[in-house]
């Protein structure tokens, strides 16, 4: 387990050393190069893990079935088209589950790095992402991690004003996990697209749902809701989204300078708060709420990574706030490692270089 703390320590040291500055090209280029190297390391760290993660056996079964069911996968059991295709491709070239995981990790980590570079503190964003998004989601929920990663790239594109790119990334994401369309309405409500474009996107979304995914959504619904799965710690993880939501709404003028993306983050914050009563409305299906709330993790990255810039009026205050955010990230990792019910599935960390 200490490998997790060591990686977080290294990234935290860099977060306290580097800050995006417009007047220092060397400092920025050094930080960007470091982010790429760190991203490459995380890709290997996630992709070549061996029997790490609570759902490892489920993903291994999906890979073993890939040759028999072909590139479309075992559709009747709720497979995801893009993920099934990667399994089929890897099984045919002898890449093993490790090649599938590595390709998924490349998309996932690359998207986090891409999103981090849109914040004022990219390294701090990586620190915030590591304890839960990278370790738990990236090494536990492979399909959904890719979907979240693609949505992060979509948000980064939307930050630059492109609604169409976000829509594109959303539909690619839902080929890895069907629930990935959940953020699309928030973007359509936030953008300046004309009414015809919005209606067209919704029509396409519904056609996509009914012809490709309606049966699979039913399977997912039966698994998460009708089986009344319970997810221990769901309240804590939803609270992790609630904190940045309240911070953003409190200082929304500072966080929402760009109108389009600003409106999106406000919608994200308001809907994040709505998850709290949702836990009490359907308490026996906390897994459904918990898994849906994963798509709100980008709110944590955006708000907390920018806290030092928003609240720090001086360089010393900025540095102190970065320390606070780093300490918060260590606390998240500590609580998860020592108190989460299923953290033992990630411990010890094992790696396989021989795929």
Can you spell out the DSSP letters for 76-107?
GGT--HHHHHHHHHHHHHT-HHHHHHHHHHHH
Lowest mean pLDDT among 95-109, 187-201, 248-262: 187-201
> Where in the chain are the domains?
32-346
How confident is residue 96, by pLDDT bands cut at 50, 70 and 90?
very high
What tokens does 353 get? 């270089």
How confident is residue 285, by pLDDT bands cut at 50, 70 and 90?
low
In this predicted structure, the answer to whether residue 241 has a pLDDT above a threshold of 70 is: yes
Whether the bond between 348 and the residue before it is cis, its omega within 30 degrees of 0, is: yes
What tokens does 278 get? 């949702």
* Pairwise CA distance, residues 35 & 180, whole Å: 26
pLDDT of residue 31: 67
* Pairwise CA distance, residues 129 & 124, whole Å: 9
pLDDT of residue 87: 92
- Helix 315-339 and helix 2-17, axial crossing angle in degrees, nearest 10: 170
Which sign, positive or negative, has the C-alpha torsion 35, 290, 6, 145? negative
10 Å Cβ neighbour count for 318? Answer: 19
Q: What value, to the nearest 5°, has the Cα angle with vertex 283 and ends 280 and 288?
A: 110
Burial 322-348 (b: 16+ CB within 10 A, else e): beebbebbbebbeebbeebeebebbee
Q: What percent of the chain is modeled with pLDDT above 70? A: 78
Average pLDDT estimate for 193-201? 56
What tokens does 263 get? 């409106």
Calculate the CA dihedral of residues 279, 281, 286, 292 and round it to 10 degrees. -70
How confident is residue 20, by pLDDT bands cut at 50, 70 and 90?
low
* Pairwise CA distance, residues 22 & 46, whole Å: 33
The more confidently predicted of residues 44 and 238 is: 44
Lowest mean pLDDT among 26-40, 285-299, 308-322, 339-353: 26-40
Decide if 300 contacts 241 (C-beta within 8 A). yes
Decide if 308 contacts 121 (C-beta within 8 A). yes
pLDDT of residue 28: 55
How confident is residue 263, by pLDDT bands cut at 50, 70 and 90?
confident
Strand partners, 198: none
The more confidently predicted of residues 8 and 217 is: 8
Helix, strand and coil percent figures for the chain, each rounded to 5: 80, 0, 20
Burial class (CB in 10 A: 0-12, 13-18, 19+), 8: buried
pLDDT of residue 27: 45
Closest to 134 (Cα-Cα) out of 155, 113, 117: 113
pLDDT of residue 71: 63
DSSP state letter for 156: H
* Pairwise CA distance, residues 307 & 325, whole Å: 8
Average pLDDT estimate for 144-156? 96
What tokens does 267 get? 């919608």
3 state SS of 351: strand
Burial class (CB in 10 A: 0-12, 13-18, 19+), 210: exposed
The string of DSSP letters for 4-56 reads HHHHHHHHHHHHHH----TT-HHHHHHHHHHHHHHHHHHHHHHHTB-S-STTH
pLDDT of residue 243: 93
* Pairwise CA distance, residues 31 & 9, whole Å: 16
């Amino acid at each position: 387990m200490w490998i997790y703390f060591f990686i977080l320590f290294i990234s935290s040291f860099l977060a306290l050393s580097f800050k995006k500055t417009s007047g220092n090209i060397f400092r920025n280029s050094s930080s960007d190069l470091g982010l790429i190297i760190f991203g490459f390391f995380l890709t290997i760290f996630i992709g070549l893990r061996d029997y790490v993660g609570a759902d490892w056996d489920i993903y291994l079964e999906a890979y073993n079935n890939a040759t028999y069911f072909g590139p479309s996968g075992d559709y009747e059991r709720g497979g995801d088209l893009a993920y099934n295709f990667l399994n089929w491709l890897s099984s045919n070239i002898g890449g093993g589950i490790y090649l599938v995981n590595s390709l998924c990790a490349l998309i996932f980590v690359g998207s986090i790095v891409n999103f981090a570079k849109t914040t004022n503190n990219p390294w701090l964003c990586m620190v915030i992402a590591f304890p839960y998004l990278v370790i738990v989601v990236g090494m536990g929920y492979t399909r959904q991690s890719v979907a979240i990663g693609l949505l992060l790239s979509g948000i980064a594109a939307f930050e630059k004003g492109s609604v169409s790119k976000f829509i594109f990334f959303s539909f690619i994401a839902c080929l890895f996990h069907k629930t990935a369309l959940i953020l699309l309405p928030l973007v359509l409500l936030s953008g300046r697209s004309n009414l015809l474009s919005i209606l067209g996107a919704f029509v396409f979304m519904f056609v996509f749902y009914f012809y490709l995914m309606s049966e699979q959504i039913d399977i997912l619904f039966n698994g998460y809701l009708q089986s009344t799965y319970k997810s221990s710690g769901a309240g804590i993880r939803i609270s992790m989204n609630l904190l940045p939501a309240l911070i953003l709404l409190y200082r929304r003028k500072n966080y929402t300078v760009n109108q389009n993306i600003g409106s999106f983050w406000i919608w994200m914050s308001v809907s994040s708060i709505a998850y709290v009563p949702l836990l009490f409305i359907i308490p026996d299906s906390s897994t459904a709420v918990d898994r849906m709330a994963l798509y709100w993790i980008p709110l944590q990255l955006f708000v907390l990574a920018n806290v030092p810039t928003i609240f720090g009026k001086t360089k010393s205050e900025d540095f102190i706030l970065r320390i606070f955010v780093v300490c918060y990230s260590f606390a998240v990792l500590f609580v998860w490692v020592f108190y989460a019910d299923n953290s033992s599935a990630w411990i010890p960390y094992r790696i396989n270089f021989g795929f």
